[in-house]
Structure 1
Amino acid sequence: MARQQERAKRTRAALVESAAVEFAKRGYAAASVNTILEGSNATKGAMYFHFQSKEDLAKAVLAAGVGRFSELTRRWTERTDVGALEALHGLVVDLANLFRSSVIVRAEFRLIVEPEFYPDVQEGGSKVWGGAAYQLAMRAADEGTLRPGATPERFMRVLSSSLAGQRFLTDFTKEDDLLAERFEEALEVILEGIAAPEWLEKFHRDGWPPIVSEVVG
């Protein structure tokens, strides 16, 4: 029984991974179930044992993507060895690296712009990392590294939309290798207007501290 359960678990994971590859490449509507089956080495019967439809499979990819985002953001929001803005920088750079390294994450980002999954945007990956940015901005305010009167809510909204826009642009221009640089640039431009002068003076002098990446592949 345990062996059968383990085999079923591997089959399900292979289907989700193969579906992510197909969704990331073609989007939801054009994705081929047959191609997903070929990529996973699973039978159609095995697929329908785990998933009732292609839509059900896509929702599993969305959930897996949210899981990857949650793991990454939790590691950075729980860091206490660096300041909040330094942790936010690490989060932003690792977020870009996660987009590059994880086909699950790329597929999640592709799926949420499909009409079939508009309702999932509010609970998707952007909510996870947007919430982490807000949490770190709140901590930065407590640490005194934001300007007086700066609101974490506005900071989070502007940063989230800026990162999403950079992600779309690098997709169009096929410049994924520049994503971390673009994300870092977006954060720095926003911080010029919202960070405390004392923090900015130190940043202009010393730059960012070295990042120990939290992306494990």
Structure 2
Amino acid sequence: MARQQERARRTRAAIIRSAAVEFGKSGYAAASLNRILEGSRATKGAMYFHFDSKEELARAVLETAVERYRSTVERWLGRTDLSPLDVLHGMFDEMALRLEHDIIVQAEYRLIIEPDFYRDVQTGGGQILGRAAKTLAVRAVEQGQLRADADPDRFGRTIAAALAGQRYMVDLLGGGLDLRSRFEEALEVVVEAMATPEWDAKFRAHGWRAHARLEELGLGS
């Protein structure tokens, strides 16, 4: 029984992964279930055992991506060895890496800009990052990194929108643009507008203390 359950879990994961590749390349409407089956090496019966429709499969991709956003945020918010703004930088750096290399997260970005999934923006990765940014802004005010009059709500909304805009522009312009440096630039512009002089002086002397590493994201599993 345990072996059968593990085989079913692996089959389901393979179908979701193949679907993410297909949705990421073709979008939702043009995505082909046959290509998803070919990529997953699953049978049609296995696919319909796990998913009733293409929409249900797309929502499974979205849910998997949201789980990855949440896992990233929770892990970085738990770092007690870093200051709030360094945690924020590390978290956003990881999300840039995921958007460049994680096909599940890439597919989520492609799906939520399509009419069938507009409502999913309200619960998607951007909202998770925005709430985390707000939490870290509150901590940064308490620890004297952001000014006492800095508004955490505005901070969270603005930085989440800035990152979404940078992601869009990198897709639009292409040409080897580096999403990590674009995310970092957006973060620095927003932070420097609200930072205390003390934090700014330390930052100019030492820079960011936290960066993500691709090999730590577990994308090969």
More divergent stretch after superposition (166-175 vs 36-45): 166-175
- The answer to whether the 8 A contact 1:100-1:176 is kept is no
- What's the counterpart of residue 32 of structure 2? 32
- The answer to whether the 8 A contact 2:130-2:156 is kept is yes
Taking the aligned partners of 2:75 and 2:150, their CA distance within structure 1 comes to: 25
Task: Confirm whether residue 215 of structure 1 aligns to residue 217 of structure 2.
Answer: yes
Moved over 2 A (4+): 173-177, 209-217
Q: Give 3-state SS (helix, strand or coil) of 1:30's partner.
A: coil
Give how far 1:19 is off: 0.1
Aligned AA (1:115): P
Taking the aligned partners of 2:6 and 2:39, their CA distance within structure 1 comes to: 19
Taking the aligned partners of 1:3 and 1:215, their CA distance within structure 2 comes to: 27
Identity %: 54
Q: TM-score, normalised by structure 2?
A: 0.94
Taking the aligned partners of 1:210 and 1:72, their CA distance within structure 2 comes to: 14
Give how far 1:202 is off: 1.3
- What's the counterpart of residue 124 of structure 2? 124
Taking the aligned partners of 1:195 and 1:123, their CA distance within structure 2 comes to: 29
The equivalences for 1:195-206 within 5 A come to 195-206=195-206
Taking the aligned partners of 2:14 and 2:209, their CA distance within structure 1 comes to: 38
Give how far 1:205 is off: 2.0
Task: Confirm whether residue 105 of structure 1 aligns to residue 105 of structure 2.
Answer: yes
The equivalences for 1:136-151 within 5 A come to 136-151=136-151
The equivalences for 1:81-96 within 5 A come to 81-96=81-96
Task: Confirm whether residue 12 of structure 1 aligns to residue 3 of structure 2.
Answer: no
- The answer to whether the 8 A contact 1:77-1:87 is kept is yes
- The answer to whether the 8 A contact 1:84-1:140 is kept is yes
Q: Give 3-state SS (helix, strand or coil) of 2:28's partner.
A: helix
Task: Confirm whether residue 180 of structure 1 aligns to residue 166 of structure 2.
Answer: no
Aligned AA (2:217): V
| Residues 177 and 101 (structure 1), Cα distance of their counterparts in 2 relative to 1, 3 Å cut | farther
Q: TM-score, normalised by structure 1?
A: 0.95
Give how far 1:142 is off: 1.1
Q: Give 3-state SS (helix, strand or coil) of 1:15's partner.
A: helix
More divergent stretch after superposition (30-39 vs 130-139): 130-139
Taking the aligned partners of 1:212 and 1:183, their CA distance within structure 2 comes to: 13
- What's the counterpart of residue 23 of structure 1? 23
Post-superposition CA distance 1:33-86 (Å, at most 9, x none): 000000001111111110010000000000000011111111111101010011
| Residues 103 and 37 (structure 1), Cα distance of their counterparts in 2 relative to 1, 3 Å cut | same
Give how far 1:210 is off: 5.0
**Structure 2 spans left out of the alignment, 5+ residues:** none
Taking the aligned partners of 1:193 and 1:160, their CA distance within structure 2 comes to: 16
Aligned AA (2:191): L
Q: Number of aligned residue pairs: give it.
A: 217
**Structure 1 spans left out of the alignment, 5+ residues:** none
Taking the aligned partners of 2:54 and 2:210, their CA distance within structure 1 comes to: 43
Aligned AA (2:206): D
Taking the aligned partners of 1:126 and 1:165, their CA distance within structure 2 comes to: 11
The equivalences for 1:66-85 within 5 A come to 66-85=66-85
| Residues 13 and 127 (structure 1), Cα distance of their counterparts in 2 relative to 1, 3 Å cut | same
